[in-house]
Amino acid sequence: ENLASRGVTGLANCTVTAVISSTVAGGPYSISCANGSLAASNYDFPSANFATGNLTLTRAPLTVTANDKTRLYGDSNPAFDGTLVGVVAATGDNITASFSSTAVATTGIGSVAITGTLNDPDNRLGNYSVTNNPSTLTINRAHLTVTAVDATRLYGSVNPSEMFTLSGFKNNETPVTANVAGSPTLQTQASAISTVAGSPYTITVVDAGTLTAPNYDFQTGNFVNGRLKVTPTHLSVTADQQTRLYGAANPNLTATIAGFVNGENLGTSGVAGQASCTTTANALSPVIGSYSITCTQGTLSAGNYDFPAANFALGALMITPAHLTVTADPKSRPFGAVDPKFTGTASGFVNGENLGTSGVTGSAACTTTAGALSSVLGGPYSINCTQGALSASNYDFPNFVAGNLTVTTATTKSAVIAPSNQGTGNAAKFTFVATVVSTSGVGTPGGSVTFMDNGTPLAAGDGGQSSKVNLATNGTAAFTTSVGQLTAGQAHSITAVYNREDLNFTNTTAQVAAGVTIGATLTIAPGAAIAAQTLTIVIPSGTTYSSPKCSIVSDFGATVANTSCGATLNGPTLTLQPATNVFGAAQPAPSQAMLRMLNTFGLVLPAVFFLPLAIPASTRKQLLKRRALVLLGLTILLALVVASVGCGGGGFNNPIPLQPGSGNSTATPPGSYTAQATAVDQNGTVTALASIPIKVTF
């Protein structure tokens, strides 16, 4: 039988010493039973038969499960959590769970366990059977940010090396300590010709490229683009070297621009405007060294270029000497004369200067192609100048203009030697000698001389000689004529005319030297006393005598009261003798010189006086009226003959008495006679200086 089959009902009343809070370690605990409600028909339940039992407490199951967690490298651990299952609440156990991991911030990527730890402040864990289910802390790569570095470059330059920065490092790491390797892929659309105006240009982070790191990754979302800024390229502006002449206005000051890129030049670069250039030089600046040319930006502008002040370089303005023109001054000189001093005139001065204020010193050296005997017709002759001693600080002398030397005809000087006479009467011959010389003393005039009588060529001379006589090589020409070939009854003024066949010389005319007429006539009547007369002798202009002495002769046999003529040959006193001239009185015998004169005119004078007696009375009165005029003509003729005979040492050197005219008369006939004065110089040359006509009246 068993309990069910024996008919036992009810339950025993059992008790135990353990309570709800009894611990496993405190067991086993005793269980005591009593009859309780047990009943059975066939069975009973004596108290002695109640044996004690044990209550054994077993550990309650307690499960701790940590939750999985994830974090990035370098981050702090997240808050760990989990579940705690199995704590008997009825017992009032204060058991809790906490979760932790050994991972720290520097723990590399990977999985690290998360474990639970039970907290049992009341030491109740002994009553539990603990199951600890750990979890995993997954440490992932930290995300680095790849940033393209902003860059700047000049227009036309190569793009700089693409640079980047990484950010987001943990644990104070750097790319080196984080073992970062490689570089990202960067890209920009800018090229060398990209303009300044188009910047900035994007620098794109395309991908991570070859970047690697143990604990980091480079995700697209962490790419930050950069910017490339293109700035103007710096151009250099250099003032151009300039040159100008002294006194000129400054030239247009310009500058040369350099530094263009991309194969550009000033025309294609987009540069506009001009630099502003100045210099300290002005028109008055002297020729010394150079003057700085300074440029500033002025109106220069460009889209892709700039003009830094430091890139402006000085230039220099050179002032060179102004060019003067030296023109040979025109000159002239007579043929054969010494050349005049040749000079040149400088022109081209500036700044209102002239030769005196310009600082020019010295003079040009000028010469001519002409020689002393260069002909008149060969001219003009060139005068050429060179710089010579000319010098100046602000001028030079590159320009020389030739001048002309004109050779003019040389002045000639002619003289006719007073003729000497040979023979008597109409056969008496007179030889005139003309001399033509150059006043310059160089060269002998060629050509011929024509001997003239009162402006008309003389008739053929002795032996048919022409009055036009060629000059000898010594410049002389001689012409011989006779009294018979001269027209009676008139005065003869004999001249020699140089005909100038030689065009290098001028014409000249010379006259036979004659006395200077006092201009007074002494008139006496027959038998009248002849008073002493004073001759005022005047030297002709241009006549020079050295230490002259004076002698006076007269047809009357005059005596000289005062033979000292003095330096001016003025004032000798002439006394005519005899003191009483009585018509019909006998006269002294004539001298040979006077006889020659009277023989020459012996036929003329009787005709004048006695011809009226032989003609009819009806015409005689008329002729007598004209006799005075005839006598005047004879007086002039007689004066010429006497002067001609007296010149050259062949005249009256001693007092000569008057000879009766003709017939048996012994008286001085009425008529005109001459008292003559001559001067003898220290060389013995005799020259007629003055004469006084003496007229004897009826």
Task: Provide, rounded to the nearest whole percent, the portion of the chain with pLDDT above 70.
Answer: 67
Residues 521, 661, single domain; the answer is yes
Of the listed ranges 23-32, 410-419, 498-507, 667-676, the one predicted with least confidence: 667-676
Q: Which of 320, 354, 387 delimits the end of a domain?
A: 320
Whether the pLDDT of residue 586 is over 60: the answer is: no
- What does the pLDDT read at residue 232? 98
Say which residue, 437 or 254, is predicted with more confidence. Answer: 254
Residues 39, 129, single domain; the answer is no
Q: Do 667 and 696 meet the contact criterion of CB atoms below 8 Å apart?
A: no
Q: Do 163 and 180 meet the contact criterion of CB atoms below 8 Å apart?
A: no
CA–CA separation, 424 and 117 (whole Å): 195
Q: Which of 495, 511, 527 delimits the end of a domain?
A: 511
Q: Is 583 exposed, middle or buried (0-12, 13-18, 19+ CB in 10 A)?
A: middle
Residue 194 in any domain: the answer is: yes
Where residue 267 falls among pLDDT bands split at 50, 70, 90? Answer: very high
For the chain, how many structural domains are there in total?
7
Of the listed ranges 64-68, 170-174, 515-519, 664-668, the one predicted with least confidence: 515-519
Where residue 338 falls among pLDDT bands split at 50, 70, 90? Answer: confident
- What does the pLDDT read at residue 493? 66
Whether the pLDDT of residue 625 is over 70: the answer is: no
Residues 72, 42, single domain; the answer is no
CA–CA separation, 576 and 534 (whole Å): 11
What is the arithmetic mean of pLDDT over 629-646? 35
Q: 88-118 pLDDT, tens per residue?
A: 888 888 999 999 999 999 999 999 999 999 9
In single-letter form, the type of residue at position 128 comes to: Y
Q: Is 58 exposed, middle or buried (0-12, 13-18, 19+ CB in 10 A)?
A: exposed
Residue 221 in any domain: the answer is: yes
Q: Do 217 and 143 meet the contact criterion of CB atoms below 8 Å apart?
A: yes
- What does the pLDDT read at residue 674? 52
Q: Do 212 and 205 meet the contact criterion of CB atoms below 8 Å apart?
A: no
Residue 6 in any domain: the answer is: no
Residues 614, 684, single domain; the answer is yes
Where residue 562 falls among pLDDT bands split at 50, 70, 90? Answer: very low
Residues 552, 533, single domain; the answer is yes
Residues 444, 430, single domain; the answer is yes
Residue 591 in any domain: the answer is: yes
- Which residues have C-beta within 8 Å of that of residue 669, sequence separation ≥ 6? 605, 609, 660, 661, 662, 696
How many angstroms separate the Cα of 54 from the Cα of each of 15, 26, 27, 57? 11, 12, 8, 10
Whether the pLDDT of residue 594 is over 80: the answer is: no
| Domain hosting residue 650, numbered range | 516-696
Residue 2 in any domain: the answer is: no
Residues 256, 398, single domain; the answer is no
Residue 1 in any domain: the answer is: no
Residues 526, 656, single domain; the answer is yes
Task: Provide, rounded to the nearest whole percent, the portion of the chain with pLDDT above 90.
Answer: 45
CA–CA separation, 375 and 502 (whole Å): 10
User: Nearest-CA neighbor of 534 among 675, 686, 418, 411?
Assistant: 675
How many angstroms separate the Cα of 153 from the Cα of each of 228, 229, 310, 488, 530? 8, 6, 19, 130, 139
- What does the pLDDT read at residue 6? 74
Q: Which of 178, 201, 231 delimits the end of a domain?
A: 231
Residues 391, 444, single domain; the answer is no
Q: What is the CATH number of the domain that holds 160?
A: 3.10.430
Q: 481-507 pLDDT, tens per residue?
A: 765 566 544 456 677 787 777 777 777
Rounded to 10°, the helix 617-646/592-601 angle is 140
Tokens of 164: 């980047």
- What does the pLDDT read at residue 473? 80
Q: Is 535 exposed, middle or buried (0-12, 13-18, 19+ CB in 10 A)?
A: buried
Q: What is the CATH number of the domain that holds 439?
A: 2.60.40
pTM, 2 dp: 0.52
Residues 433, 403, single domain; the answer is no
Residue 7 in any domain: the answer is: no
Helix, coil or strand: residue 37: coil
CA–CA separation, 372 and 370 (whole Å): 7
Residues 464, 420, single domain; the answer is yes
Residues 299, 367, single domain; the answer is no
The mean pLDDT of the chain is 76
